[in-house]
Structure 1
Amino acid sequence: MDPQTALFQQHRPRLFGLAYRMLGTPGDAEDVLHDAWLRWNDQNSDALDDPEAWLVTVTTRLALDRLRRAKTERAHHVGPWLPEPLVADEEEPPMQAERGQSLQISFLLLLERLSAEERAAFLLHDVFDYSHAEAATMLGITEEACRQRAHRAKQRLREGRPRFTYAPDIQQRLLEKFMQAMQQPTPDVLKSLFADDITVISDGGGRVTATLRPLHGSERVLRLYSQVALRYRSMEAVHRMQWLNGAPALLTWVDGELATVMWIETDGDRIVAIHSLRDPLKLARLKAVTPSPGHAS
């Protein structure tokens, strides 16, 4: 490997982590990195004082352009939009070490509240630890403008942040209870898992059945999952737990096809939010590396 390629590969985990958090889709993040690589390949790296800053700047600006286009496209998305999860081999060790909670689906969804410019300023400063001056240079704006964007972003995120934050092992325990309840559903058991003001967000992309708007309240959610559980009983439905994006997720296969990936938020005792990804296009990457567990639950 030549030195210029080796230098790009050295920084690749951080560049991918930034692009993915900006865009919420691994495929878009890979496209950004491909374009960044083409520009890097035409650049004389020996003439650069700070190759990392150059790479982060190019990656950020490419991601900004793509995110602006994506926001227009997402405005026409059928039903709620959810980020696409990473698969295990995309989470390289350096990325795993720095991810914290900033890769969790609930956090990526929260970032959708921000403008593209606010999102970039916030990620560079608060997630990737660049100073406001460094981030401003990368974004081509003044330091004060960068500081204001990051401040507005934090205000918006605080307004939408989940009321409760509990360790992933508590999320996993409740997901396991939910999985068991879906296999032998009774209204009382299912309802005991749901907070009164639970919210369900389901992304089918207009390609499969999914709620077309967020669903609120335990009674409505109970009816939904009672129907889903009954439908699963007439099919070859198989459930399995897997960690995705730094949190436990429940994967469900139906007749050998990956049909749903679910994450939850909890108050420690009950489920307060469910994020259910059903769009086959978004599940395709995960399905390719996560074979069906067979016909045993």
Structure 2
Amino acid sequence: MTTATDEFETQRPLLLGLAYRVLGSMWDAEDVVQEAYLRWMRTDRTEVRDVRAYLATTVSRLALDQLRSARVAREAYTGPWLPEPVATDDLGPLDSAELRDTVSYATLHMMERLNPPERAVLVLRDAFDMPYEQIAQAIGISAATARQTHRRALKHLDSGRQRPRPTAEEHERLLTRFLEAAAGGDLATLTGLLSEDVTVWADGGGKARAALRPIIGRDKVVAFVAGLAGRYGLGTVRPVSVNGEPAFHLSSGGTDRILTGEIRDGQIHSLFTILNPDKLTRVRLTT
């Protein structure tokens, strides 16, 4: 006989992926899914027609409430707030372009521009292909409003999200060349690898030394990267896979960081450095 716990555990990977995409934090996502489990255990299952839809609705509502309160805390965060990177192997199946896109680090970062309903609708529609009628029920809006919210969310996101994504090999190759050029002080190569409007984001959360504002523009980024590499070096560099994409674990002077980036048109458009140790627990850092 299938128990309530069995039914929930069957859906847990999907629910965790949903909550993580909405919240950008696996820590918060796990709290939301656990709360959904507790509510599920108090639910009369005979009244539930579609377990997957019911649980997705519950998690969506809990994640929305969590996101609204989290956004207030993120406004007081020390320096830029970046999503929590997660080892690719821990994200469940990424067997469609939509699933991969909505969990990519650059997309999660761009989704910070959206308000909570826009973010939830985008995830439910793009990642999980949920009909607008079910989205409406999950979010507590009409189907017409859900459709309009989805269009608005897509419009708010950067147009680069719609461009062809590089292969994993190209992604890793460009980041590798970037690190090699930085370590060797090769300013010409660094300049050629970066787009003109490249931006560097660093998240230390007040717990690790990091730039408190984004570094914007090719010339400023080249000077910033060259200065850091020349003064501190890169330390130990190892490839890892986070959020379905290649990244690197850099370890130097007792500080660990994850470096990943967004590639557009064969150049690095954004670089993300996560140094806050609280956000590195979901990536298996080798030493």
Q: What SS class does the counterpart of residue 157 from structure 2 fall into?
A: helix
**Does the aligned pair in 1 maintain the 2:136–2:146 contact within 8 Å?**
yes
Paired amino acid for 1:226: A
Q: 1:248 Cα shift? A: 0.8
**Does the aligned pair in 1 maintain the 2:60–2:139 contact within 8 Å?**
yes
Q: What's 1:277 paired with?
A: 274
2:241 is aligned with 1:250: no
Q: 1:168 Cα shift? A: 2.7
State the TM-score, normalizing by the size of structure 2: 0.91
Paired amino acid for 1:246: G
Q: Deviations over 1:192-251 (max 9, x none)?
A: 322332211111112222222221122211111112212334x8x100111110111121
How many angstroms apart in 1 are the aligned matches of 2:111 and 2:198? Answer: 21
Paired amino acid for 1:202: A
Q: What's 1:261 paired with?
A: 258
Q: Deviations over 1:93-133 (max 9, x none)?
A: xx332422111110001111111011112211222111111
Paired amino acid for 2:86: L
Q: 1:154 Cα shift? A: 1.5
Q: 1:258 Cα shift? A: 5.1
The structure-2 alpha-carbon separation of the partners of 1:194 and 1:89, relative to structure 1 and needing over 3 Å to count, comes to closer
Q: What SS class does the counterpart of residue 81 from structure 1 fall into?
A: coil
How many angstroms apart in 2 are the aligned matches of 1:96 and 1:127? Answer: 10
Paired amino acid for 1:238: T
Q: What's 1:169 paired with?
A: 169
How many angstroms apart in 2 are the aligned matches of 1:194 and 1:132? Answer: 39
**Does the aligned pair in 2 maintain the 1:170–1:268 contact within 8 Å?**
no
Any unmatched runs of 5+ in structure 2?
A: none
2:144 is aligned with 1:149: no
Q: What's 2:202 paired with?
A: 202
**Does the aligned pair in 2 maintain the 1:198–1:221 contact within 8 Å?**
yes
Q: 1:62 Cα shift? A: 0.5
Q: 1:2 Cα shift? A: 5.4
Q: Deviations over 1:149-178 (max 9, x none)?
A: 112111112557487742332111111112
Q: What SS class does the counterpart of residue 261 from structure 1 fall into?
A: strand
State the TM-score, normalizing by the size of structure 1: 0.88
Q: 1:46 Cα shift? A: 3.2
How many angstroms apart in 1 are the aligned matches of 2:267 and 2:53? Answer: 44
Q: What's 2:6 paired with?
A: 6
Q: What SS class does the counterpart of residue 112 from structure 1 fall into?
A: helix
**Does the aligned pair in 1 maintain the 2:88–2:245 contact within 8 Å?**
no
Q: What SS class does the counterpart of residue 86 from structure 2 fall into?
A: coil
How many angstroms apart in 1 are the aligned matches of 2:11 and 2:258? Answer: 30
How many angstroms apart in 2 are the aligned matches of 1:154 and 1:88? Answer: 25
2:279 is aligned with 1:291: no
User: Percentage identity across aligned positions?
Assistant: 35
The structure-2 alpha-carbon separation of the partners of 1:156 and 1:33, relative to structure 1 and needing over 3 Å to count, comes to same
Q: What's 1:295 paired with?
A: none
How many angstroms apart in 1 are the aligned matches of 2:260 and 2:142? Answer: 39
How many angstroms apart in 1 are the aligned matches of 2:133 and 2:163? Answer: 32
Paired amino acid for 2:206: G
How many angstroms apart in 2 are the aligned matches of 1:159 and 1:165? Answer: 12
The count of corresponding residues between Structure 1 and Structure 2 is 285
Q: What SS class does the counterpart of residue 275 from structure 1 fall into?
A: strand
**Does the aligned pair in 2 maintain the 1:80–1:203 contact within 8 Å?**
yes
Q: 1:88 Cα shift? A: 4.3
**Does the aligned pair in 2 maintain the 1:113–1:157 contact within 8 Å?**
yes
How many angstroms apart in 2 are the aligned matches of 1:89 and 1:171? Answer: 18
**Does the aligned pair in 2 maintain the 1:258–1:283 contact within 8 Å?**
no
**Does the aligned pair in 1 maintain the 2:256–2:275 contact within 8 Å?**
yes
Q: How does 1:1-297 map to 2 (within 5 A)?
A: 3-92=3-92, 95-98=93-96, 99-158=99-158, 161=161, 165-233=165-233, 237-255=235-253, 257=254, 259-286=256-283, 289-292=284-287
**Does the aligned pair in 2 maintain the 1:195–1:272 contact within 8 Å?**
yes
Any unmatched runs of 5+ in structure 1?
A: 293-297
How many angstroms apart in 2 are the aligned matches of 1:40 and 1:68? Answer: 23
